[in-house]
């Protein structure tokens, strides 16, 4: 797995933000990780696409090796700042769960920096959860974290990987282990009762029609219905949107079925 010495840092107005940059002269491909995790979610994609693309995988503020927020911030502003610092764009943005919201928000706020979008498991930063399984998992997770029961939260993370259609023990154990390591690292950066400083955009779903770049939604067939629906809504709202479903995987198809995910992403990139 990536070690801190391989990361680079950009100074923001509120601390340093970490990112992996494979360099090279290829087209920029930006990989945006899920909540509580970090850039290592995309290890399989970094290896696969670095030979042909300049792969950039940031740690979102408050995650991984990036600074925690001490003042209000927006995901889109942080990502736009990084892309401007690197003097790249427009770039293809690829998001998993929370990373999809970062990507879509950035396309809405900074369209000149985005060439195409790939979303999975979410849509914008105005998350819309309706599936009873999702609501139950969210409530349980909030309860455990509020009580400071980090071990309990990490133990239950296997259910997040498995999704509502499999038992937690049916999730790939190596994927669960890797995600738990990332989540534990991020949670260790924070304190109990710390205020939420991230600010979502507003009116995002109504603004989706303004996205005029190609969009691909990649679904894990075993993911929760609301996670699939949010990503699909982004694809359906765009004039150049389409989707693909990967069987036998839940919320992290890029980790559970990396070959299938990479094939779908590569096919999409060839159309650009």
Count of domains forming the chain: 2
Model confidence pLDDT, tens digit, residues 117-150:
999 999 999 999 999 999 999 999 999 999 899 9
| 62 plus 89 within the same structural domain | yes
| 229 plus 101 within the same structural domain | yes
Put residue 66 in one of left, alpha, beta given phi > 0 → left and psi -120 to 50 → alpha: beta
CB 216 within 8 A of CB 118: yes
| 219 plus 167 within the same structural domain | no
| 160 plus 215 within the same structural domain | no
CA distances from 91 to 26, 114, 142, 191, 234 (A): 11, 5, 34, 35, 18
| 52 plus 97 within the same structural domain | yes
User: Which DSSP symbol is given to 252?
Assistant: -
**Residues linked to residue 246 through DSSP beta bridges, in sequence order:** 220
| CATH, residue 115 | 3.40.50.1820
Classify strands 15-21 and 8-12 as parallel, antiparallel or unpaired. antiparallel
Within 35-97, where are the H helices?
43-49, 75-86
pLDDT value of residue 5 = 55
| 169 plus 236 within the same structural domain | no
Q: Would you say how long the chain is, in residues? A: 272
User: What 3-state class would DSSP assign to 56?
Assistant: strand
Interatomic CA distance for residues 128 and 56, integer angstroms? 28
| 181 plus 162 within the same structural domain | yes
| 150 plus 235 within the same structural domain | no
| 210 plus 255 within the same structural domain | yes
CB 91 within 8 A of CB 115: yes
Indicate the residue among 187, 209, 229 that finishes a domain. 187
| 70 plus 136 within the same structural domain | no
pLDDT per residue of the chain (272 residues) written in tens, 0 to 9: 454 558 999 999 999 999 999 998 899 999 999 999 999 999 999 999 999 999 999 999 999 999 999 999 999 999 999 999 999 989 999 999 999 999 999 999 999 999 999 999 999 999 999 999 999 999 999 999 998 999 999 998 899 999 999 999 999 999 999 999 999 999 999 998 889 999 989 999 999 999 999 999 999 999 999 999 999 999 999 888 999 999 999 999 999 999 999 999 999 999 99
pLDDT value of residue 2 = 52
| 91 plus 217 within the same structural domain | yes
In terms of residue numbers, what domain contains 67? 4-129+195-270
Model confidence pLDDT, tens digit, residues 190-229:
998 889 999 989 999 999 999 999 999 999 999 999 999 9
CA distances from 17 to 21, 82, 229, 237 (A): 13, 8, 31, 32
| 121 plus 238 within the same structural domain | yes
């Amino acid at each position: 797995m990536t070690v801190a010495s391989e990361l680079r840092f950009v100074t923001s107005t509120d601390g340093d933000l970490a990112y992996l940059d494979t360099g090279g002269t290829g087209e920029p491909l930006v990989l945006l990780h899920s909540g509580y995790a970090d850039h290592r979610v995309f290890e399989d994609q970094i290896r696969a696409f670095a030979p042909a693309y300049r792969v950039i995988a940031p740690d979102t503020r408050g995650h991984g090796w990036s600074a925690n927020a001490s003042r209000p911030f927006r995901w889109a502003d942080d990502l736009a700042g990084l892309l401007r610092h690197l003097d790249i764009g427009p770039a293809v943005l690829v998001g998993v769960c929370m990373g999809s919201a970062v990507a879509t928000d950035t396309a809405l706020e900074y369209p000149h920096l985005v060439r195409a979008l790939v979303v999975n498991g979410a849509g914008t930063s105005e998350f819309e959860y309706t599936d009873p399984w999702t609501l139950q998992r969210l409530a349980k997770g909030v309860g455990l974290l509020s009580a400071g029961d980090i071990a309990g939260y990490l133990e239950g993370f296997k259910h997040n990987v498995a999704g509502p259609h499999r038992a937690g023990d049916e999730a790939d154990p190596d994927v669960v282990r890797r995600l738990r390591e990332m989540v534990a690292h991020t949670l260790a950066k924070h304190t109990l009762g710390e205020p939420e400083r991230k600010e979502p955009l507003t009116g995002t779903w109504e603004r989706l029609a303004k996205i005029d770049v190609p969009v691909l939604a990649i679904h894990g067939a075993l993911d929760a219905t609301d996670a699939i629906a949010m990503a699909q809504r982004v694809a359906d709202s765009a004039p150049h949107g389409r989707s693909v479903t990967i069987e036998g995987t839940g919320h992290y198809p890029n980790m559970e079925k990396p070959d299938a995910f990479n094939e779908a992403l590569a096919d999409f990139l060839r159309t650009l």
